[in-house]
A and B are shown apart, each in its own frame.
Chain A
């Protein structure tokens, strides 16, 4: 009885599997098929070419990528992707700097604060993207802060908001990582060799947490790259990748289909990377601001 399943159980399992697989695969197949039909009576990659290739010289868009003034002559696909990658990278940087030393310090010196940390890092689940956007704008867009009046201020709000949104994932990942290593002994060893706190964190804790930090970074990247809500309200010029996707959806017929397939492949690659890096940490689920 154990090990071998009854015929009925297997049949049931197959039926469920087939239904679910169809639900997940059919929309992609029809979308892929549609994306190939941009030219009447022909099957080809025209829609992809329209999205990915350098357009006519007079149609080239000039895009400034905040906060650094880089003027790029690129199709919007690349310029928006680049902008969102940059924001994702800044978010990874900020959340690593904020989370890792704090989580380490709490584990080592103030374990009493651990439940408090857990509480605050789960809170973002109660604040959906649109509510966070609303709160940030109402708090900081008007006087006395007027942060949305400057390029830098807007980027700070975006990166701050993203850091909060990914905090449940990054904190948990680092927390699990810290539990797996003996930070007390490592710290004492480093101290007895004369290392100061910055050296301990940079040269001892970071390398020992590289798997946790890397998997948190990939999760952050995956969430930030296609984020629409906060990016679209903070940058109404549709600079972010999510805004670009939405605007193509409003204006084009076959290109959105091509972009769906490209996005799906992008998410797929990120998930494979996360699974590879996070093997053993068991973290594969994530959901960003939808």
Chain B
């Protein structure tokens, strides 16, 4: 820390003040609020309060929804990425799929919910078609778009395209020469994927899956517009706490939000770790 360095960091002060005001301070409010009772004393009551059935159920729903859409979305997205990079499809199909996926990955929220209600609602296009053409009654069979299943189907609309966008560079990073080398050494194309391709892609696949998990876990607008009050995901319980204290315990709402941050922080740490492993291969 010689003379020019000593004061140079001051140039970053406006940035850090801004980040403090709009990111750190709100986060601190949530963290501190999670450990304070009504009169401002330290307490663990709020955290313990998370154990009530309504809240546990909402966390369970959110995590189930996020895990299922992350695993299915990641698998489908990776398969599609394989198809357009190594599957022998034309370059025009490749760029078309990438563009459409960029649009779909950003097409979340309220319009997406509208589209899925039209397609899969009680009087939606698909249930009506199946009933009239094949005599299958989806809703009588227990399906409903206004449930967790419905949310899963809707979230997948942006999850697997996002996965595709992340995985295409990873598949492009696999060098064709490696496949040549593998076949020259007498291996089959299956051997190549089993012993070379899959192990190299695994960290970026898992990393992207973690990203998808977070993407679904924090989603609010789609759930609100699609299922309204019928499905309690954590984000919706928090939104009701903002509108009015429905749990009759202000401290509990802080703990609810804090819990989400903890889950996401763990998943990001996992992501960063997996990213480091991936970076070795994608140089």
A: residues with CB less than 8 A from B are 1-2, 4-6, 9-10, 12-14, 16-17, 20-21, 23-24, 26-28, 30-31, 33-34, 98-99, 101-102, 105-106, 109-110, 113, 117, 120, 122-139, 160-161, 163-164, 167, 222, 226, 228-229, 233, 242, 245-246, 249, 256-257, 259-260, 263-264, 267-268, 270-272, 274-275, 282, 284-290
Q: How far is the CA of A274 from the CA of B102 in the complex (A)?
A: 10
Is there contact, CB below 8 Å, between A249 and B89? no
Main secondary structure of the interface of B (DSSP, over half): helix
Stretch with Cβ within 8 A of A (4 or more), from B42-50, B132-140, B217-225:
B217-225
A126 with B29, Cβ < 8 A, contacts A10-B87, A136-B22, A164-B23 known:
no
Task: Choose among B93, B176, B221, B241 the residue that contacts A290 (Cβ–Cβ < 8 A).
Answer: B221
Q: How far is the CA of A136 from the CA of B189 in the complex (A)?
A: 54
A131 with B30, Cβ < 8 A, contacts A1-B183, A16-B79 known:
yes
**In the complex, residue of chain A having the shortest beta-carbon distance to the beta carbon of B253:** A134
Task: Choose among A2, A16, A98, A263 the residue that contacts B83 (Cβ–Cβ < 8 A).
Answer: A16
Q: CB-CB < 8 A to B12: which residues of A?
A: 102, 105-106, 110, 113, 117
Q: How far is the CA of A126 from the CA of B160 in the complex (A)?
A: 21
Q: CB-CB < 8 A to B29: which residues of A?
A: 135, 138-139
19 inter-chain pairs at a CB distance below 8 angstroms, sorted by A residue, are A1-B183, A13-B83, A31-B118, A31-B119, A106-B12, A109-B5, A110-B9, A126-B261, A127-B23, A127-B261, A128-B235, A131-B257, A136-B26, A139-B25, A160-B18, A245-B110, A271-B106, A287-B105, A290-B218
Q: CB-CB < 8 A to B97: which residues of A?
A: 17, 20-21
Residue in B9, B15, B27 whose Cβ sees the most chain A Cβ within 10 Å: B15
Residues 231-277 (chain B) with a chain A CB within 8 angstroms: 235, 238-239, 241-242, 253-254, 257, 260-261, 264-265, 268, 272
Residue count of chain B within 8 Å CB distance of chain A: 94
Q: CB-CB < 8 A to B114: which residues of A?
A: 31, 249, 256-257, 259-260
Q: CB-CB < 8 A to B203: which residues of A?
A: none
Distance (Å) between the CB of A144 and the closest chain B CB?
Answer: 13
B: residues with CB less than 8 A from A are 4-5, 8-9, 11-12, 14-16, 18-19, 21-23, 25-27, 29-30, 33, 76, 79-80, 82-84, 86-89, 93, 97-116, 118-119, 124-126, 156-158, 160-162, 165-166, 169, 176, 179-180, 183, 189, 214-215, 217-222, 224-225, 235, 238-239, 241-242, 253-254, 257, 260-261, 264-265, 268, 272
